[in-house]
Structures are given as structure tokens and as C-alpha cells.
Structure 1
């Protein structure tokens, strides 16, 4: 990490680049990085995204980390690879790492009924009565809901019967985890993710834990974009609890560090990592489009493992891995412009223009220009 060098080709490629990108030379992997970054900037401008930060990891080395546009449009502060953003639901893979670490240490069982760990019954009954689509079909008479159901979004209806993406129930997964450790979930993420992955510019926040002061100063300002493309500062986000579904502020560079630490087995074992990225089997034997904290799908002969993040009118993000190519892509934005209205019941990351640009440049392209 410490030996990243400046990649001057990218600096000269476009005057719109807001910061000098980091890159590691890898002559055996001849990708046209400059053309890829130019494509991302075209997509960014078309989507009226004020600021964007990106990173690409190949073979557990960072081959690109840079920023485009502005982290603060009013003050013309450029976005960089080290600009912090609220990553929204991209926090879910990090939360799943915490859960699987506790499984490895014997502190929690993914398949033990939640009622044995926490006050699930009371929460379930109360939430099921709320007038929200996320509560529709939640059956609380069954004592069989498990942590696996929450982390794989298979808690609606008969537990394990079908996939139904549900950030509220995923968020509640922090409760049994805190119960068995007698520790705040935010402290556990720091202990088992941020610290071992050397994610120095990442932190949790929730209603009782203000964002770390240095990150608050540097954080990309959130913007909402009108139909005409005009931007304005977004309002304050509503306070959240110490849940597993979000609550993380991080940078593209730090998420690249997470990616490397995860693939090197520094956070959880290889067996646990594979479990995260294996589609959940439903009660009828069918495969859901989700593992533990990750969407999973097939695309042109490759398995894609990914998660999106979206705060309406504020932030958006995408973290996409192609395990058989050993390559990962991270993009963070200070508007909702990265979001592509993915249907909540399906995995269709190929609909994202940013994902398409990445897949074309690093995965499906048959001809790559030498650096």
C-alpha cells in the first residue's frame, strides 16, 4: 500500500481529473487505464455527479485509485481516492465479515433461532405491524428466524422460502451480534474490519456515535440533482441506530484495502469468504441472488459478486468483484447518480453504466491497449 506511485499518464489524459491517481505498474496486465478513467468521467458528467472516487484492485494490488469532480462543489474542493463518503449499503459486506468472524470463534451460530440470542419476537411483532412494504409478509409466529435469514434477506414469509431484499431486517442483525459479545456493533466493525485492514480513513457513525472529526471535515458533501441537472446541497440524513445495514463512512482507497485484506484471508478464513460469496439455497433448493452480505449473479460466463449503496438525493456507491478474474471495482459518489434502480428482488448490476465500463475494460474486453 505504502509504495503506490503516481501514474502520470492519467494526469495528462484529461484536464477534468481532480486529483493525481495512484497506480501500481503491472506490465503483465495491459489494461488501458487512461481510457477507462475517461469513460468514467463521461458517465459522471452525464449523470451530473458532482464528485466521484474510484479504485480498481487486480491480483490483490491497487492498479487505480483516483477522484473525479468535486467533493465540495461550492468550494471547488476536488474529490480524491481518499475522500470519505457515506457508503450506505456497501457496509453490508463489512458487517457480514464481523458475523462470520464470530462464527469462526464459536461465539454465534448463523442457524440458531434468533429468539435464543435476542428479543427478536418483540421486534418482529412490532415491525410486522408497521405500514411499510418492508414489513409485508413478515411472519412472527415462527420461532425459526435465524441470523442467516437476516444476512441473506430470506426472512420474509416462511424463513428461507424466498429472497426479499430487506435493509431493515439486515440492520437488525447487529442485535444478536451485540448480545453475544456485549460490545457495540460499531466497536466490533472497528476491531474486526477497520483495524486489521488498515482502514485508517474509515469509521462508523450512528445516533449515539458522531462521525470522527477528521472524517467529518473531509467528507464529500452530499448533493441532490434536479431533472435539469442543477445541483443543490442535500439535507441532513435522519439519525440511525447501530445497525448492520449501513452506518459506515469510508474512502475508495480504504475499501480497496478491505478488498485486499478480505482476499488475503486477513479478516476471515478462505472458507468463510467463500460462504459469503455463495448463493443462498432456499428451502426448495433454488439459489437466491444473494449470499451473506453480497449480491451474486452470472454474467457472460463470470460470477459477479457485488453490492450497491444508495442514500436518496445524497450518496451512492458500487463495490463489484469478479472472483475468477481476481479483480474488483469500487466507485463512490456524492449524489445518487451511481444508482441504477436495480430491482430489489434481482441482481442486475450489468444495468449500471459504471459496471459496464468496468466489465468492458477489465473483464470482457478481448483486446487491451498496452499502458
Structure 2
């Protein structure tokens, strides 16, 4: 009986193992790179998962998820993934629109506290209110508090100046999408997100905010945040947990393995049908005819002729990481850590994930054809 059980277990594992076996040199190269990166860039706890053709082919964890080095990191260690939550919000709202629950052309500015919040944002000097020069030399227009802004404008991050015409990444306004949905439907945004995304795919080890009654396992495995200070005697200093409440912009708590399973579910049409998935990942055109850098809740760009969609997440001196997809290759990397050592400073006005050393190494290994480039040290 025991021999039969072992044989059955090996048989069930064979498809994943066989698929991963063909990628082994590249997986080994990425693992070595990731381990070095974790050690050299002050990421106390770092986890990643790689998915290819519907299978999770690698899932690793390095370091410790606590200050006393008693709890080793695994691929199931969870993190407050910050703005990766926006991808869940986008899928939820597109599905609600398709079902007629909401209309993405509805007026976002009917939100009860919008007038006061917009007024404060417009005079605050905050970059997300517009009017400030960006590092790349672009001065976005100020937000117009009397203008009509649609839900789609907010999903596309096109709320400054004439709504729908100017892109600037804007997590403050995006975050209020959850409040708008709750006011209009009388149902918590957590319930909508679970209904349209999380529960449709039976995702485990995930919480839609820290108040999610069904997210206890994710909360139990959470790696607390740290500040990395290499010049100080105590190189890692515990920091306060960032806002763990769920809103349109942030609040998902999950492991990289779970987010890789989420990515596979997107590819397989288990969250959105193909036409809505294409819509979510298709950016509008800028005035010069070029595609914008942001679609609906996802960054969008080309790299060496290949389409990339992705989202980063960053809480300063706490958490950082990203979810990167190469849709045409059914290829995904999710990586996260409990310091901000994975943050690469993507500009607010354009998508440049290749500036992340981890993302670039992954793309060189798995998204290009040249073995010479891929397997270099």
C-alpha cells in the first residue's frame, strides 16, 4: 500500500517536474542571482515564484521572516503587496461592468467626499495633484475638481487636467475606487473582490485586507517589515506595519506562490474571459499615437519587441516587489521582500521595469532566445 501511494504521488508530480526539468539551467541561474541579490541589497526576507505555461515551475524563499532569525522564509511567506492590489481592483471592476453592476463610464466624482478631498489635493503641493515638475522633465497639469472623471479614467490613471487625456500614476485617487463601489452598491469592496477574483480561483494564502475573516493563514505567515540601514550597527530595524486596510490601491496580503497562481488563473480565463483580459491590458493611445504606459490597473510596455504587463508594490522602508507577466509566452515572475531593497524607482510617467535588476535578469533568462545572453554569469 505504501509503495502504491508513493508511486501515485510521483505520478501526480511528474507533469510539473518534467516541465521544470527543461528549464533547469535557467531556473538554477535565476535562483543563484536572486540569492545574491537578497544578500547584497538588504532584503531580510525575500520570496519568488515563476510560472510558465500554466505551471509554477519554481518557488523559493531566502532569509528570515523575523528579526531573531528563527523563522526561515519560504515561497509561502506572505507580504503586504501594496499596489499589486490595483490589478485585483481592475479585474473586479471590469467584471462588475460586464455584469451590469456598475458602468465604467459612471461619474467617479459623485463620491460623497470627492469635492473636499479633491480641493485639498489640488492645493496640497502633492505631486499627485499635478502642477509639479517630474524628474523626467514633464510638468503634469493640475487636477480639475469641477471636471467629470469617469471610473475608466481613474483605472487608467488619467485624472489630471482634462480627464482622460493626461497620464500620471496616481495611487491616491485610484484608492478611492473602493469607496465609490461601496457607496453605490452598499456592499463591501472586499466581498466584491472575493466574488469576482479570489474565490473564483480558490486562491489560498491570501487576505483581502487584514480584516478579511478568511485570510487568517496569510496573516499568520506575514513577514513583518524592516528598514535596511547598512551603515548602522543593527543593520535591520523593525518598522511600523503600513496601512493593512483594503482599498482600491492596496491591502492584499499574499505570498508570491499565491500571486503566481493568480497570474495563471488570469491566463486561463478563470477570472476574466479573453475579451475582458485584452481590454484590461490594452492601454489607450497618447496624443502622438503611441500606446500609453498604463492600461487598466496594470503597467504596459514593450521590451525587445515583447509585450510586458506588470505592477510593482512599494511601501517605503517596509515592503517592495512586483508581478511581471510576458503574456505571449505565458510567463510570470512574482518577487517580494520585507524591506524596500527590491524597489528600483520606476518613474511616475512611464513603464520601465527593465530598470529593475531582478526583472532584467529574469527577462534575459526566460524571455529571449539567445542562450549566450540568458546563461551568462
Q: TM-score range by the shorter chain?
A: 0.7 to 0.9
- The alignment's TM-score, normalised by the length of structure 2, stands at 0.86
The structure with the greater share of residues assigned to helix is 2
Q: 352-361 or 237-246: which moved more?
A: 237-246
Q: Using a 3 Å threshold, how does the CA distance of structure 1 residues 222 and 56 change in structure 2: closer, same or farther? A: same
* Equivalent in 209, 228, 234 of residue 231 of structure 2: 228
Q: Secondary structure at the match of 1:297?
A: strand
Contact 1:221-1:233 within 8 A present in 2 as well: no
Which residue is equivalent to 2:157?
153
SS of the residue corresponding to residue 332 of structure 1 reads strand
Q: In 2 relative to 1, CA 27–358 (structure 1 residues): closer, same or farther, beyond 3 Å?
A: closer
- Structure 1 pair 270–56 and aligned structure 2 pair: CA distance change class (3 A): same
Deviations 1:62-83 (A, max 9, x none): 1111211112241331111111
Q: Does 1:218 align with 2:221?
A: yes
CA 1:5/1:125 → structure 2, altered by over 3 Å: closer, same or farther? farther
**Equivalent in the alignment of 1:314:** 318
Question: 1:68–1:79: 8 Å Cα contact kept in structure 2?
Answer: yes
Residues 1:283 and 1:211: Cα distance change in structure 2 (over 3 Å): farther
1:336 aligns with 2:340: yes
Helix, strand or coil for the counterpart of 2:195?
helix
Which of 19, 35, 59 is the matching residue for 1:26?
19
Conserved in 2, the CA contact under 8 Å of 1:58 and 1:326? yes
Paired residues for 1:127-206 under 5 Å: 127-136=121-130, 137-143=142-148, 145-205=149-209
Deviation per residue, 1:80-103 (Å, 9 max, x gap): 111111101111111111111101
In 2, Cα distance between the equivalents of 1:27 and 1:343? 35
Matched residue SS, 2:200: coil
**1:23-48 deviation line (CA, Å, top 9, x unaligned):** 64317843521121111111111112
User: Does structure 2 retain, via aligned residues, the 8 Å contact 1:24–1:64?
Assistant: no
Name the structure 2 match of 1:86.
80
Q: Deviations over 1:178-219 (max 9, x none)?
A: 23332111222222222122222101226x668944433321
Q: Which residue of 2 aligns with 1:39?
A: 33
Structure 2 portions without partners, runs of 5+ = 1-8, 131-141
Corresponding residue number in structure 1 for 2:363: 359
TM-aligned CA deviation for residue 357 of structure 1:
1.4
The number of aligned residues is: 352
Q: Using the alignment, how far apart are the partners of 1:362 and 1:188 within structure 2?
A: 35
What's 2:263 paired with? 259
Q: CA deviation at 1:175?
A: 2.2
Whether the 8 Å contact between 1:223 and 1:231 is mirrored in structure 2 is no
What does residue 327 of structure 2 align with?
A: 323
Aligned to 2:136: none
Alignment of 1:55 onto 2:59: no
User: Structure 1 residue 163: deviation in Å?
Assistant: 0.8
Question: 1:238/1:363 Cα in 2 relative to 1: closer, same or farther (>3 Å)?
Answer: closer
Is contact 1:40-1:357 (8 Å) kept? no
- Matching residue within 82, 88, 96 for 1:102: 96
User: Which runs of no fewer than 5 residues in structure 1 stay unpaired?
Assistant: 8-22
Aligned CA-pair RMSD: 2.6
Q: Which TM-score applies when normalising by structure 1?
A: 0.87
1:235 Cα deviation from its structure 2 partner: 2.2
CA pair 27-340 structure 1, distance change in 2 beyond 3 A: closer
Q: Distance in 2 between matches of 1:209 and 1:220?
A: 18
Return closer, same or farther for 1:55/1:239 CA change in 2, 3 Å cut-off. Answer: closer
